[in-house]
Amino acid sequence: MMLQRGRSLHQRVSNTGRLSFLTQSEQLRVVLETSPSALVVMDEQGTILAFGKAAQALFGYAEDEAVGQNVNILMAPPHAERHDGYLKRYRETGEKRIIGNLRVEKARDKEGHIFPVEISIGETHSNGTRYFVGFVRGLDQREEDRKQAQDMLAELAHASRVAAMGAFATAIAHELNQPLTTIANYTEGCRDILKNGVDFPDRDNLIKNLDTCSKQALRAGQLIHRLRDFVRGGETHKEAVEVEDLIDNSLTLAMINGFRRNVTLERRIPAGLPSVAVDPLQGQQVLFNLIRNAFESMHADEKAGQRLRIEVAPSDQGMLEFIVEDSGAGIDPEISDTLFDNFVTTKGGGMGVGLAICRQIVEACGGAIWVSSSTDLGGAKFHFTLPIADNSASQGA
């Protein structure tokens, strides 16, 4: 996009006034000031005509120090000495060796420090004059950008989980109310038994009531524990996660709304599957979204004999493929190609970010996610892949 802006600017550049124009153009000035890459504009002799703000920060030269200098001042040996020859050969032969290719090179700053950079050179012409535009990123900056993108994904995924639990507030209250009501009723029964005096027959009832209270308290505690884990934020980290645990935890949360009542659940998960490498919460979030969407689709369809199938199988290139298939209304073919884009939704009140987040999580792990029609159950069939954890691969070798 920035290169396209550069082309539109250069269309108005004359041979005699090109340096003045390049430094005074308001449009170019905006690009030079705001580009996250170190932006360097050169003529065909390699003379620097414009030097962006990020370039000043990366190389340590002020703009007036760099403009008018040969671009080889930014290069480390031996490329610095050879660069004029590269340009001369290109002018004479037109043979492209570096133009248009992203590559890693060594750069040199004002203090003489050598450091690795990622560089891409573009070319444009105006009024018979050729210009080159270089986009440079320090590799440390690239890693910082990657970490920033990872943090943004984690925050967005966390916000989505919190929103999902907020939408389930009534169902969560109902789910917790059942064990708490049972505990209250049975403890009241225990109190009455103790109040009236415990004889031998009542002793068995007392033990039974207390056992029930204990089980229901554990049930409520486990639900709260899973909810707390699901909505927590903080650092994300990949680890080896058991497939069964991933599915069990996702199902528990997705079934809170009670959709399971009219749905037959099928699990096709072979024994002995290896673990997958994923952040546990984010992997659970992907499955939770797909399972919840399936339940909602079948619930809206209101037909008898609804089925949900969860299947896991080895895939290519060290991956496991997860499949969530339902007998609901299916996906409109008109949106199937854009279903994982932001703000695309099949729900009247939906924001359309759930599946987009799923895609970002899966792709950040090196996997893929896609949808097809279920020829067996008649609804939607979502697929995604996750990499097998290294320790699983080594154990299976």
Q: Please report, for the domain that includes residue 274, its CATH number.
A: 3.30.565.10
Q: Are residues 21 and 130 in the same domain?
A: yes
- Which structure tokens are listed for 220? 């409520």
Q: Are residues 246 and 391 in the same domain?
A: yes
Which of the two residues, 171 and 372, has the higher pLDDT score?
372
Of 59, 46, 61, 8, the closest CA to residue 30 belongs to: 8
Q: Are residues 241 and 137 in the same domain?
A: no
| Residue span of the structural domain in which 33 resides | 2-141
Judge contact between 107 and 117, C-beta under 8 A. yes
Q: Are residues 244 and 114 in the same domain?
A: no
Judge contact between 247 and 311, C-beta under 8 A. no
Supply the pLDDT for residue 24: 45
Which of the two residues, 69 and 295, has the higher pLDDT score?
69
Supply the pLDDT for residue 344: 40
Q: Are residues 391 and 253 in the same domain?
A: yes
The residue-averaged pLDDT of 311-315 equals 93
Give the strands of the sheet with 380-387, arranged side by side.
Answer: 263-268, 306-314, 319-326, 380-387, 369-373
Q: 3-class DSSP state for residue 384? A: strand
Residue 220 lies in a domain: no
Whether residue 241 is predicted with pLDDT greater than 90 in this model: the reply is yes
Q: Are residues 125 and 250 in the same domain?
A: no
- Which structure tokens are listed for 35? 């580009």
Of 141, 168, 183, the last residue of a domain is 141
Supply the pLDDT for residue 88: 78
Query: What contacts 86, CB < 8 A, 6 or more positions away?
Result: 97, 98
Whether residue 268 is predicted with pLDDT greater than 90 in this model: the reply is yes
Backbone torsions φ then ψ of 217, nearest 5 degrees: -65, -40
Note the helical H segments in the chain.
Answer: 2-10, 18-24, 26-34, 53-59, 63-66, 79-93, 139-167, 169-195, 200-231, 243-254, 280-301, 354-364, 390-396
The residue-averaged pLDDT of 343-360 equals 58
Residue 323 lies in a domain: yes
Residue 179 lies in a domain: no
**What percent of the chain is modeled with pLDDT above 70?**
64
Of 141, 171, 192, the last residue of a domain is 141
Of 141, 172, 207, the last residue of a domain is 141
* Tally of domains in the chain: 2
Residue 166 lies in a domain: no
Residue 198 lies in a domain: no
- 89: domain CATH number is 3.30.450.20
Digit-coded pLDDT (tens) for 140-174: 755 666 666 666 656 666 666 666 666 556 556 65
Digit-coded pLDDT (tens) for 85-134: 777 777 777 666 667 677 788 888 998 888 888 888 888 776 677 888 88
Residue 190 lies in a domain: no
Judge contact between 328 and 301, C-beta under 8 A. yes
Whether residue 190 is predicted with pLDDT greater than 90 in this model: the reply is no
Supply the pLDDT for residue 343: 43
Lowest mean pLDDT among 8-22, 81-95, 374-388: 8-22
- What letter represents residue 21's amino acid? F
Q: Bridge partners of 129?
A: 126
The residue-averaged pLDDT of 233-252 equals 82
Residues belonging to the chain? 397
Half-sphere exposure of 197 (CA within 13 A, CB side): 1
Supply the pLDDT for residue 132: 85
How, if at all, do strands 306-314 and 319-326 pair?
antiparallel
Supply the pLDDT for residue 97: 62
Q: Are residues 266 and 136 in the same domain?
A: no
Whether residue 243 is predicted with pLDDT greater than 50 in this model: the reply is yes
Residue 108 lies in a domain: yes
Q: Are residues 249 and 380 in the same domain?
A: yes
Whether residue 382 is predicted with pLDDT greater than 70 in this model: the reply is yes
Q: 3-class DSSP state for residue 328? A: coil
Digit-coded pLDDT (tens) for 269-308: 999 999 999 988 888 888 988 988 888 888 766 677 888 9
Mean pLDDT of all residues in the chain?
75
Residue 142 to residues 38, 100, 184: CA-CA distances in angstroms?
12, 19, 57
Sequence-distant contacts of 136-142: CB under 8 A, at least 24 apart: 136/37, 136/38, 136/39, 136/40, 136/55, 136/58, 136/74, 136/107, 137/36, 137/37, 137/38, 138/38, 138/58, 138/107, 139/104, 139/115, 140/115, 141/58, 142/118
CA 356 to CA 156: how far, in whole Å? 10
Digit-coded pLDDT (tens) for 43-60: 888 899 989 999 999 999
Residue 248 lies in a domain: yes
| Burial of residue 157, with CB atoms counted within 10 A of its CB: 0-12 exposed, 13-18 middle, 19 or more buried | buried
